[in-house]
Structure 1
Amino acid sequence: MKKGYYIFPCGYESTTKEYSGVLKKIDMQCTELRKYYDVDYKLIFEKKPKAKIVKVIRRLPWVSANRDYDRLIEEFDNPAFVYIRRVTADKCFIAFLRKIKEKYPNCKIIEEIYSYPYEADEYQRLIDKPNLWKDRYYRKQLKLYVDRLATYSDDKEIFGIKTINQMNGINVNSIPRIRRNEEKKETLDLIFVGYMQKHHGLERIIRGLRDYYNCDIQKRVVIAHLVGDGPETAFYRELTEKYNLSSKVIFHGKMYGEELDRIYDMCDIGISSLGFYKINIQVSSALKSREYLAKGMPMINGNPTDVFEQYDCDFYKEFPNNDSFIDIDSVVSWYSTLLEKYGTTEKLSIAIRQYALEHIDNSITIKPIRNYIGD
């Protein structure tokens, strides 16, 4: 069995909770890879600076993140492959890749570009611009050492490196399907779960609800449940208060495990990303859409999604990839049509869950990586 390492170079150890969703995804990827390879997972932290001035200095283009890459290489045991989740390229990271190739010339190095293009999303703040300049300079050297870039985009080459095109996957059976004791007739509950960033575009839902409730007649009471936190939370709260929607847009904060499952069970439709136009992404492979499918939940999205482009289904409603408001009335009508077709929420969720097993389970989506690594 081939030996491999999955490496996630991340921030400070004290910020691990910020990566909870990422770590969950990595765990699922490793679980699938371990069916075929001897895979060790290595989480390598950046050492937290003691002085604030160091936090500023570390962002300078010629200063590298303080991670102990040398210790990591010493722990390697003749790897056939190394799979690395993308990190801002810097001098020490390039040196790390070079040393792997020098010590293990036959080792295949795969770096996952989990979002591409990524500049507009990851380097929005002015304080992050030095990291952007750093990445632009050093990523030119990736092609000297990286054999393939794993991407969820359709690009065949990135930074002069051949790509492995794949879809984002999930371990479907690790996620409980939504359960409903009885059918609802008066309310329609929407749910968003995630880290609230600009590209999620939840203002489109909030403004859509404002227009919906400004009409004289509503087909059903529609409520949006927003679960999570993030830099856009304050903005979404301000809009909600401005439009007097406090009873229709519910902020639940961060939720996990059974508590989150209970919210899912009372909801009908998942809200995937609605603002990818802001970061120039045309086709989505967002993990959020996979989670909704595994839950057995229909969803709305603000741009094309890869799995729905490749495989037809009717439990996905797409809106334009721009800043237009979400037409809530059309969402209500679409969901009513789904229930008429499938009969009950239970039958609908079972059909969606089966679709997930057939198309976005990690056993399916990891195959391009396996094909490249080999047996």
Structure 2
Amino acid sequence: MIKYYSKLPKRRFVLHIVGGGKVVEEEKTRVSHSIVSDHVIFHGPLVGAALQVIFNQVTLAIDVCDGEEQGVFLSSSLKTREYVAQGLPVVGAIEIDMSRSMKEYFYKFKDTRTINVHEMIEFHDTLYHNEHEYHTIPKKIREHARKVCDIHVVMRPVIAFFQER
């Protein structure tokens, strides 16, 4: 983000960070005295209605960004499922297990070591062409999510296995 804002872009981009821990605290320190301090909002850990307020404000979600460093090359995170259940397209640094069936709503960064704001904006703009799509895209994502990651769909093979026994 610092690289993005150092070029004085016309387009404003705000990053909402929900959660806590050592990495978040390190980012808070790094961001606090930089040119992006007005563009990164740290909310801390949130649940329920407070988290829903944030979901209702944003149009993209960021998934795992350090997976390859950890030896993870495919994300199957519960957080990603929460994002698509909320109707949010997802960007990240590693492949997402649902990306094959919902590929138009997922984007993997070209350089997996960097969160590239330009890439996020380009991806965002491929989805949201007009005001109407800010309502239709989330509905489409939620519909796809129901087919791919709804508990009834995911557990159907497990239930069938036990019923056959």
Instruction: List structure 1 segments (4+ residues) > 6 angstroms apart after TM superposition.
Output: none
Are 1:275 and 1:321, in contact at CA under 8 Å, matched by a contact in 2?
no
Deviation at 1:342, TM superposition (A): 8.8
Secondary structure at the aligned position of 2:98 is classed as: helix
Match of 1:374 in 2: 163
Q: Deviations over 1:127-153 (max 9, x none)?
A: xxxxxxxxxxxxxxxxxxxxxxxxxxx
Change (3 A) 1:259 1:312: closer
Match of 2:87 in 1: 296
Are 2:75 and 2:94, in contact at CA under 8 Å, matched by a contact in 1?
yes
Larger Rg, first or second structure (1 or 2): 1
Q: Percent identity?
A: 23
The answer to whether 1:315 aligns with 2:105 is: yes
- Aligned counterparts of 2:127 and 2:120: Cα–Cα separation in 1: 11
Deviation at 1:238, TM superposition (A): 1.7
The answer to whether 1:305 aligns with 2:96 is: yes
Q: Deviations over 1:176-195 (max 9, x none)?
A: xxxxxxxxxxxxxxxxxxxx
Match of 1:328 in 2: 117
Q: Deviations over 1:250-280 (max 9, x none)?
A: 1111222112111111111111111111221
Q: Counterparts of 1:96-245 in structure 2 under 5 Å?
A: 209-218=1-10, 220-245=11-36
Match of 1:340 in 2: 129
Deviation at 1:313, TM superposition (A): 3.1
Structure 1 length-normalised TM: 0.41
Change (3 A) 1:321 1:366: farther
Unaligned 5+ segments in structure 2 are: none
Higher relative contact order (CA 8 A, sep 6+): 2
Match of 1:109 in 2: none
Structure 2 length-normalised TM: 0.90
The answer to whether 1:252 aligns with 2:52 is: no
- Counterpart of 1:275 (choices 66, 76, 83) is 66
- Aligned counterparts of 2:158 and 2:72: Cα–Cα separation in 1: 23
Unaligned 5+ segments in structure 1 are: 1-208
Structure showing the higher strand proportion among its residues:
1
Match of 1:354 in 2: 143
- The one-letter amino acid paired with 1:361 is D
Considering only aligned residues, what root-mean-square deviation do their CA atoms show, in Å?
Answer: 1.9
